[in-house]
Copies of this chain bind each other. A is one copy, B any other.
Amino acid sequence: MGTSERKQREREEREQLFLDAAEQLIEQEGFMQLQMAKLAKACDYATGTLYQHFTSKEDLLMALMARHSALHLELFERIEQWQAPSRQRIFAICVAEQDFNQRQANYVKLSQYVMTEAVWENASETRRSQLLQCGQPICRIVSGIVQQAIDDGDLDPQGASTMELAYGTWALCQGSHTLDHTQGLLEAFSIPRGPMTMYRNMNRLLNGMSWHPLLDLSSTETLQTLVQQIEQQLNIHS
């Protein structure tokens, strides 16, 4: 009946309200400082009400992550639409992500935290699969680019599945961001901070997949121009 639909909608709205407020609080004082009671009060609800939406604090963090990944997806969709050689498109993902993560450092940390057993295991099963679902379209887009490369004859998979190749780029991105965001690590090993290191390594990986056209890494210029081109065309930094 009609009333229950409205209720459902109101419930959904309240959930978004909680998430909005959580986002704001995290913005202000970092996600470690987030407190359930404080959050509830900030929304003029009782603590218990918060627990009608999220089974635990971890569940809430994960919900936040899931919602946030919609923004992330948007990025990928922009690249999906972009008409360009596959090699540029796959690299564009890396560039877009780098920029995205740069600006949402809190979220990189949060996602790192959420993927931890400590958090993962304390969220509801529903939430976990929701979050995994969020990855699906992204996965589809990346696979699509790999597939395009194969179809265009730019990439010979040599027996590897499209997923395997996509996984490689993913792992490299993931690992780079993790290392990047670990306090003091780059400094301890005197690795220059900044995206270029990761860009170069990504292109090495792509070259190693024989993903044409290969990029010449001996010139800093070439890569920098490429990055700028991508940033402009995709309207990154917007």
Contact = CB atoms under 8 A, between A and B. Distances in A.
Interface residues of A, number: 60
A158 B116 contact: no
A217 B158 contact: yes
Interface in A163-200: 163-165, 167-168, 170-176, 178-179, 181-185, 188-192, 197-198, 200
Contacts of A207: 207-208
Interface stretch (A37-45, A68-76, A107-115, A229-237): A107-115
B178 A163 contact: no
A42 to B, nearest CB: 21
Contacts of A159: 217-218, 220
Contacts of A120: 182-183
A35 interface: no
Given A175-B174, A176-B175, A113 B109 contact: no
Contact of A115 (B170, B176, B182, B191): B182
A48 B133 CA distance: 45
Given A112-B115, A113-B116, A203-B208, 5 more contacts: A135-B185, A165-B201, A168-B204, A171-B176, A173-B175
